[in-house]
Amino acid sequence: MTRAGLILPVIMLLCATAFAVQGADERFIDIGSPGDEAAIGTGIYQREGPNPKSKAAFYRQCSFRWFSNSWMLKLPVFPNRHNEIVLRAKLGRNVRLRVDGFETMLRPGEPYEKSFAIPAAIIGKRDQIELRGEAIPRLVPDARDRRELVMTVDWVRVRPVDELPKVLSPLAGKEPDLPLPFRLRGTEARPLVADVEGYVLEARLMRCNAMTIGPMNGQHFTAFPTRHGTPTPAMQPDFIRNQIRALHEHGIAAIGWLPFNVQDLRRADQCEAAKRHPEWRMEYIAWDERRATNKVGMCVVSSPWRQMHAEILKEAAALGLDGVFFDGFYLGGIPHPTAPGCVCRWCRESFRNDTGLEAPRRVDWADKLFKQWVRWRNHKIVEVACYFRDRMREANPKLEVTCNYNFWPFGNKDWDTAIPMWATDAYGVSQHAYSGRPDLEWVMLGYKSRLSHDLNPKHSDIWRTAAPAWKYDGSPADAARHELTMRTFILSALTHGTTPWHGGHIQPPEVGVRVHDAVRERERFFSQDELRHVGVVVSQNTHDFYGHLPGTNNLDDYRDTILGAWLLLTEHHIPFRFVFDNQIEAGDLVDYKVLLLPNTACLSDAMAARLREYAARGGRLIATAESGAFDEWAVRRPKNALADIESLVRLDGEPALKWLRTREEATAESLLKAVRAVAAPFTVEAPRSLVANAVFSANRKALWLHLLNVSAFYPQGDTGFRGMGQQPVYAGSVASDAQIVRGGKAKRENIPARNVIVRAPGFDVKNARLGVAGTAIKPGPDGSFIIPEVTIHDVLVLEMK
């Protein structure tokens, strides 16, 4: 870079700071040029450059100095002002910067102009500071050059600023001591070896209050000393324990990523556990649709591997983890798609002992024995998860455990995983919640937010990669789209009472800080205590056994029915939650005024009895399509299980499915009318792209109505989604990946929702306000509350008398 392009009102001051070009509002230090000596402290080498023969343009264009692992630079500053500092520098690794109580981190890569701001409170009355830097991790010189060549600096510019920009500086003090499900700024970064100090500093800079770390990887190598497992060759004995300790010092929770079965394998020969114990590998049932060759999985159900793996997991828990995330949570072999198991000799014996039956040899949906084996696997995966949980808690009694459920529609997950869609409080439940398809961006996020919470309201989460799920070129338009996408992801979790986390830190870093700060200022409104009004039944029996009846399209139709019911009720702001087979069988239907059975074809006798009791107590029961026509194994009943419920509201066909695929309003209205026959405790008049979800405060003296604007995912007012196997239908054009790469033409700007009308006839409201904006909302003559505008998210706080 030439200096001719710099136009500065300069005065050369012959004083202690003669190294700087000074002006009324700028200090400029030309590192590597004559006159920079007064700025040079310790750990900085001689001047070099320009180097015309260098392959790097940076070195060809400027004079510079090399900086070592630890260095100090003396900078002129503006007293009692916020000071913005820009270094033009080329970094070989992360560098931590410190000035008294301030610290931040610079990262390698372009642009070379690295900026940060030091608050006036740190600067004080001084006109000069000592800026100290430290390489993370430290560089070890090679044999050719004994110098520690960590970074090169071309120039430094200092300017006063009136407003402190969003700085990459850790928050003061420790993070509040919250339970894991209430930590909404989680990030997954799980190296088997890393510089602990740098790892923790990055987490602090990014405002994280929970980090998912890597005591193991999917190949079954451990990053800690183990009596029962296999350490990674690069294992550092104290790394994980020191990592956890350092996170805890700053109030950051440590969640250990651990393999339940196997995960992250591209080839079957990559599984270390299978190499050491081939006799305990999973065996797969014969399936014409999917070959089981070149697959690997470990039999966690019945073989001795179950006990050995539990010992390894217990060793990991003893390191001091706050929680465990089980990935590879399925009974199958990979690489994906999974080959379903297990039918090894131990599992055949276990099935015989549990059922008195011989295990089936092949997939056959017309065979009840096979169906019984399918359901047996569901129970076994839960049993094993609880067994692993209990063994780990022997070493760590307060350990939280979460399992990666990751249901359909993501990756077309099906029965082969063995994950049951049943409500549970045995462990936390996690869902993947993102898609690169434009028509699925909101469907995956919204549906999975709802599903995850409802499976376990007290401990659930949603995950996505921190990288864009579409091609990204780094343009301002693409960066803005990604920031909006990540902000909406995290605020959707908050809205639904589930916990967000993401794989990797959000980039660029300032975007990640803004996204985490957006949820940090709203965390006080996080609640898992959601209002109950309508229950929508999601049936595992119907999905598995009715869905797979040979010669039918039942599976696609049933999945789209559930997605259609979710989308229709969400777009019309009707408060609802999903209800599952085991909840009905247990009679857990308290407080639901309406129960919708969207083609719940399979009902056991016990479920039917509970539904009769529900209707007899005055609950409104709505059934569609073939609800109640089959028993729990999808055997058609001679008489519908719901036929004798006089108050049953039976709708023709399947309105949710037809509406999803056609957007026929008359069809939608038939279902909405049946649901709205029982007045909801609150109503919302707003665009369909505004999500309204009501939760209670801790003392139940206030209702928090979360209002989430997802219009960015409704191009021209429509998601475009018409079903999992259907072509999207968009109201207008949407950008392709190629257009995004050519300049970020996918404009994802939320259209503000204006004059949102909320009525709360079910509550005696004392006063109302917007929790985030802080604006008081006075009721109108009819008692309604009008919110002038919702840009992305706010919370209408209704305090009760």
The Cα–Cα gap between 763 and 778 comes to 15
pLDDT band at 5 (very low <50, low <70, confident <90, very high): very low
β-strand partners of 472: none
Q: In the prediction, which pLDDT does 746 show? A: 52
Asked if 62 and 143 count as a contact pair (C-beta separation under 8 A), the reply is no
Q: In the prediction, which pLDDT does 740 show? A: 47
More confident residue, 611 or 111: 611
β-strand partners of 82: 161
Q: In the prediction, which pLDDT does 687 show? A: 98
pLDDT digits (tens, 9 = 90+) for 763-786: 999 999 999 999 999 999 999 999
β-strand partners of 136: 94
Tell me the residue type at 784: S
Check pLDDT > 50 for residue 11.
no
Q: In the prediction, which pLDDT does 509 show? A: 84
Task: Give the residue carrying structure tokens 């080498």.
Answer: 45
Among the residue ranges 105-114, 448-457, 690-699, the one predicted with the least confidence is 105-114
Is the sign of the CA dihedral 327, 330, 333, 338 positive or negative?
Answer: negative
Mean pLDDT (whole number) for 582-586: 97
Mean pLDDT (whole number) for 365-391: 99
Other CB atoms within 10 Å distance of the CB of residue 234 = 11
Check pLDDT > 60 for residue 295.
yes
Task: Spell out the residues 6+ positions from residue 350 whose beta carbon is closer than 8 angstroms to its own.
Answer: 301, 302, 380
Task: Spell out the residues 6+ positions from residue 347 whose beta carbon is closer than 8 angstroms to its own.
Answer: 283, 299, 301, 302, 303, 341, 359
Cis? peptide before 225, omega within 30° of 0? no
pLDDT band at 109 (very low <50, low <70, confident <90, very high): confident
Q: Of 674, 639, 680, whose CA–CA distance to 654 is shortest?
A: 674
pLDDT band at 83 (very low <50, low <70, confident <90, very high): very high
Check pLDDT > 80 for residue 144.
no
The Cα–Cα gap between 790 and 794 comes to 7
Q: Where are the beta strands (DSSP E) in 609-731?
A: 620-624, 649-651, 683-685, 690-696, 702-709
Q: In the prediction, which pLDDT does 165 show? A: 72
Is the CATH code 2.60.40.10 the one for domain 180-432? no
The Cα–Cα gap between 324 and 190 comes to 13
The Cα–Cα gap between 268 and 282 comes to 12
Other CB atoms within 10 Å distance of the CB of residue 705 = 28
The whole-chain average pLDDT of the chain stands at: 92
pLDDT band at 553 (very low <50, low <70, confident <90, very high): very high
Other CB atoms within 10 Å distance of the CB of residue 548 = 18
Other CB atoms within 10 Å distance of the CB of residue 223 = 27
Check pLDDT > 80 for residue 706.
yes
Tell me the residue type at 638: P
Check pLDDT > 90 for residue 15.
no
More confident residue, 163 or 667: 667
Task: Give the residue carrying structure tokens 């008692």.
Answer: 783
Asked if 81 and 164 count as a contact pair (C-beta separation under 8 A), the reply is no
Check pLDDT > 90 for residue 113.
yes
The Cα–Cα gap between 384 and 206 comes to 36
Query: Which CATH homologous superfamily contains domain 534-676?
Result: Class I glutamine amidotransferase (GATase) domain (3.40.50.880)
The Cα–Cα gap between 452 and 423 comes to 10
Mean pLDDT (whole number) for 455-467: 97
Domain boundaries 11-161, corresponding CATH code: 2.60.120.260
Q: What are phi and psi of 384, to 5 degrees?
A: -65, -40
Mean pLDDT (whole number) for 661-677: 97
pLDDT digits (tens, 9 = 90+) for 517-532: 999 999 999 999 999 9
Q: Of 593, 538, 535, whose CA–CA distance to 560 is shortest?
A: 538
Domain ranges of the chain: 11-161, 180-432, 534-676, 683-800
Other CB atoms within 10 Å distance of the CB of residue 269 = 11
Q: Where are the alpha helices (DSSP H) in 457-544?
A: 476-496, 509-520, 540-541
Residue 249, SS3 per DSSP: helix
Asked if 358 and 436 count as a contact pair (C-beta separation under 8 A), the reply is no
Other CB atoms within 10 Å distance of the CB of residue 249 = 10
More confident residue, 5 or 413: 413
Check pLDDT > 70 for residue 18.
no
Give 47: exposed, middle or buried? Use CB within 10 Å, 0-12, 13-18, 19+.
middle
517: its two tokens: 């700060």
Other CB atoms within 10 Å distance of the CB of residue 339 = 23
Task: Tell me the fold of 683-800.
Answer: Immunoglobulin-like (2.60.40)
Whether 534-676 and 180-432 are alike in CATH topology: the answer is no
Among the residue ranges 11-20, 390-399, 782-791, the one predicted with the least confidence is 11-20
The Cα–Cα gap between 333 and 299 comes to 10
Check pLDDT > 80 for residue 171.
no
Is the sign of the CA dihedral 661, 666, 671, 676 positive or negative?
Answer: positive
Asked if 52 and 82 count as a contact pair (C-beta separation under 8 A), the reply is no
pTM listed for this prediction: 0.90
Q: In the prediction, which pLDDT does 356 show? A: 98
The Cα–Cα gap between 534 and 750 comes to 29
